[in-house]
Structures are given as C-alpha cells and as structure tokens.
Amino acid sequence: MAKRRPRKFIQETGIGEHKGALHRQLRIPEGEHIPVPVLRRAAHAPGKLGKRARMALMLRRLPHHVGPLGTHRVKRKRRAHHHAGGR
C-alpha cells in the first residue's frame, strides 16, 4: 500500500502570514509569553481574535512545538504491557 503524506493543516491556515497578530490584539508585547488563562478567555471571543486564540491553544498541545508555549509538554500515558494481550 502506498505511504500517505501527512496533511499540512497548519500551513493551510495561513498562520505564518500574520505573525504577532494575536499579541497585538491582546495588547501584549511580542517578546512576552501570553498567559494561558488569557488565551482561554480570548478563545471564547468571536471573529479573528477567537480563531487565533483557539489556534494558539491547539498548537500548544502539539508535542513537537518549540517556542514560548512549547515549554508545557503533553504527557502521554504509556500503555501497560497487559494491554498487549499478556505478552
């Protein structure tokens, strides 16, 4: 079977075209971290602000994300060996 290429969903959003837009909308200087409670509140806002905040929260959960929000890595539980059929 042919190997599938990964879908590049982040590139399709055009997120790189408006760097710093979320910082400007939240009136937080671009060198500073955006606190997570501020992002969660902004995620409920309508329009572009809400979309950008929701995208930032989603990108924060990606394990390979490196940057100011990537310091909080997602901890994944390891599957116990008994789930593998007792091997």
- Whether 40 maps to a domain, the answer reads yes
Q: Calculate the CA dihedral of residues 37, 40, 42, 44 and round it to 10 degrees.
A: -140
Q: How many domains does the chain have?
A: 1
Q: Output helix, strand, coil percentages for the chain, rounded to the nearest 5.
A: 45, 0, 55
50 belongs to a structural domain: yes
Between 81 and 12, residue with greater pLDDT: 12
φ, ψ for residue 20 (rounded to 5)? 85, 0
Flag whether 60 is in a domain.
yes
In a domain, 28, yes or no: yes
Average pLDDT, the chain: 77
Q: Does residue 39 lie in a domain region?
A: yes
Please indicate, yes or no, if residue 45 is contained in any of the structural domains.
Answer: yes
Mean pLDDT over 22-43 rounds to 94
In a domain, 9, yes or no: no
Specify the DSSP class assigned to residue 20: T
CB atoms within 10 A of CB 22: 21
- Answer yes or no: is pLDDT of 72 > 80: no
Closest alpha carbon to 41 in 53, 27, 56: 53
Q: Would the pLDDT of 29 be above 80?
A: yes
Q: Which domain holds residue 33?
A: 20-68
For the entire predicted model, the pTM comes to 0.62
76 within some domain: no
